[in-house]
Amino acid sequence: MTLKPAYLVADIGTGNVRVAIADTSGTILGVASGDMRYEKDVHYPESIFFDPNALWVQIKNLAKDALAQAGPVTVTAITATSQREGIVALDGAGNPLLGMPNIDHRGREWEGATPDKHEIYALTGRYPTSLFSALKLVGLRNRRPEIWQKVSAIVSISDWAQYMFGGKLGYEHSQASETLLYDVARGEWSERLCAKFGLNASLLPSLVHSGSILGRVLPETARELGIADSAVVVVGGSDTQLAIMSMAPSVEDIVIVSGTTTPIIKIASHYLTDPHERTWTNRHTDNASFLLEANAGVTGLNYQRLKEIFYPNEPYEQIETEVAAIRDTHCVAALGSLLAGEQAPLTRGGFVFNTPVSHQLSRAHFVWATLWDIACSIAENYQVLREVARHDRDYVWMCGGGVQSKLLRQFIANLLGKKVMIRTNYRQASVSGGVVVCNNASGIPNSAPRTLEVTEPDGDAIYAGWYEDWKCARRAFKSSH
């Protein structure tokens, strides 16, 4: 009996890690997930790390669970996608020394010492901050010399996972865009940028394109997982880029990826940057396009944590029903999301409501306020993108777990004055993107998933007043700190 061919996709996000088994059409046959596990690094005011060895064990265990769910299949290809900006440091033997996620800010103390910030922006498409990999390395070098002296190479988290599966090291271009050491327009590592941070370019592995084949899975890994050792390891890329690929958008489209954070991205045919240095410019995993981005920061994570507090056991459908019934602003939130036009992020936020506390104030108001905060932050960042590059189309695409909220989609449609469109694969978009790159590597044509739903702006005038309430709340929190 010939078994159905399938792909194994490891997806290592900021909050969760999951492994999915999917067939060549993108149908998910099995998926297992768990929390990303972080520890605080006490050597820095704002630093967390993860143990790559423990993460590898977790990935393999999740893979076994997903394979068991999938039933009899032949895994023909393996790929990985991950959070951007995160890196793994390796020693000379290829053993992991330390995992530094995107939310690790061990380099914050040295941001001010970064020279030639405007030149760095021109070359990398992003203003240098501790979010990006180079400053994580500066922080590691300056305060943890006992680790730094052992570092022989650094690699993105998805590229590290592929290295663990197949034993071949490479750095994919969309992930390299996040390092501050990569010339985004030229598509190559930059000795000039490395010198600005005092880093040796020998730390950087050879660049590899998404969709290329690194080699075969290691025999010992194949045996442990119970898959054929003929499976190839395919270069994936960053989770945002793969999610966008899975939506099959066109150049000039805008895609909003609603996850732990919310990138708002315009697909461009050429390298462009913002004269005011508010946006990021990235390489795309289609190996041809560029992505102009404004990012609303931590959004979906706020919603998830509020759900755990107010609706710990209730399904999303019940939350949506209660929240959709609200037609007042008894509660407004400003929860630390990012606005591209602001010089500094909101570091302390909260909820604003009238006192004494009204008997009408309910748990649904707090979740409503959180969704409205996300929508308003997206709208503000969208306007910045429009200032940098026009967007004349009457729609935007959305994908990611946050999109399951119909109310959020309606909020965004009304604030942007655009149709919000989602496809059938919106919830597992990064995994679907992994299927796309495996198909590309295997010579199998991809077909765009069908459009699932279109949310039209409803023209309700009440939204303008709510928007002003949100702006006032945000200004109040910013002025108090």
Q: For 155-193, how does the pLDDT look when each residue is reduced to its tens digit (9 = 90+)?
A: 999 999 999 999 999 999 999 999 999 999 999 999 999
Q: Which of 39-53, 127-141, 297-311 has the lowest mean pLDDT?
A: 297-311
Q: Give the residue-averaged pLDDT of 198-214.
A: 98
Per residue in 232-285, pLDDT (tens digit) is 999 999 999 999 999 999 999 999 999 888 999 999 999 999 999 999 999 999
Beta bridge partners of 22: 7, 28
pTM beyond cutoff 0.85: yes
The pLDDT of residue 2 is above 80: no
Structure tokens at 180: 């501050």
Can you give the length of the chain in residues?
A: 481
Which residues have a Cβ under 8 Å from the Cβ of 283 and sit 6 or more positions away?
173, 174, 176, 177, 184, 187, 241, 290, 291
CA end-to-end distance (rounded Å), the chain: 67
The pLDDT of residue 143 is above 80: yes
CA distances from 250 to 185, 290, 400, 417, 418 (A): 20, 12, 18, 20, 16
Which residues have a Cβ under 8 Å from the Cβ of 393 and sit 6 or more positions away?
252, 253, 254, 418
For residue 454, what pLDDT band results from cuts at 50, 70 and 90?
Answer: very high
For 89, phi then psi, to 5°, come to -95, 135
The pLDDT of residue 462 is above 90: no
- Contact call for residues 241 and 291 (beta carbons, < 8 A): yes
Per residue in 318-334, pLDDT (tens digit) is 999 999 888 877 899 99
- Give the per-residue pLDDT at 298: 79
Structure tokens at 61: 């265990």
Report strand pairing: 254-257 vs 395-399. parallel
Q: Which of 132-141, 165-174, 186-195, 335-344 has the lowest mean pLDDT?
A: 335-344
Q: Alpha-carbon dihedral of residues 273, 401, 288, 206, nearest 10 degrees?
A: 90
Which residues have a Cβ under 8 Å from the Cβ of 160 and sit 6 or more positions away?
52, 88, 90, 96
The pLDDT of residue 460 is above 90: no
- Contact call for residues 246 and 426 (beta carbons, < 8 A): no
Closest among 14, 446, 11 to 247, alpha carbons compared: 446
Percentage of the chain lying above the pLDDT 90 cut = 82
- Contact call for residues 264 and 420 (beta carbons, < 8 A): no
Report the 10 Å Cβ neighbour count for 235.
25
Instruction: State the sign of the Cα–Cα–Cα–Cα dihedral 349, 352, 357, 358.
Output: negative
DSSP 8-class letter at 307: H
- Give the per-residue pLDDT at 345: 73
Please give the class, per CATH, of domain 4-239: alpha beta
Q: Alpha-carbon distance 147 to 106, whole Å? A: 14
Which residues have a Cβ under 8 Å from the Cβ of 57 and sit 6 or more positions away?
none
Q: Do domains 4-239 and 248-424+450-481 have the same CATH topology?
A: yes
- Give the per-residue pLDDT at 431: 95
Q: Alpha-carbon distance 81 to 10, whole Å? A: 6
Closest among 221, 266, 220, 272 to 244, alpha carbons compared: 266
- Give the per-residue pLDDT at 1: 58
Domain boundaries, the chain: 4-239, 248-424+450-481
Closest among 133, 84, 100, 375 to 242, alpha carbons compared: 84
Closest among 301, 308, 347 to 480, alpha carbons compared: 347
- Give the per-residue pLDDT at 413: 97
- Give the per-residue pLDDT at 402: 85
- Give the per-residue pLDDT at 365: 93
Fold of 248-424+450-481: Nucleotidyltransferase; domain 5 (3.30.420)
Report the 10 Å Cβ neighbour count for 226.
11
In the chain, % helix, strand, coil (3-state, to 5) comes to 40, 25, 40
Q: Alpha-carbon dihedral of residues 65, 66, 67, 72, nearest 10 degrees?
A: 120
The pLDDT of residue 220 is above 90: yes
The pLDDT of residue 481 is above 70: no
- Give the per-residue pLDDT at 305: 85
- Contact call for residues 311 and 299 (beta carbons, < 8 A): no
Structure tokens at 74: 């032949």
Q: Alpha-carbon distance 109 to 42, whole Å? A: 14
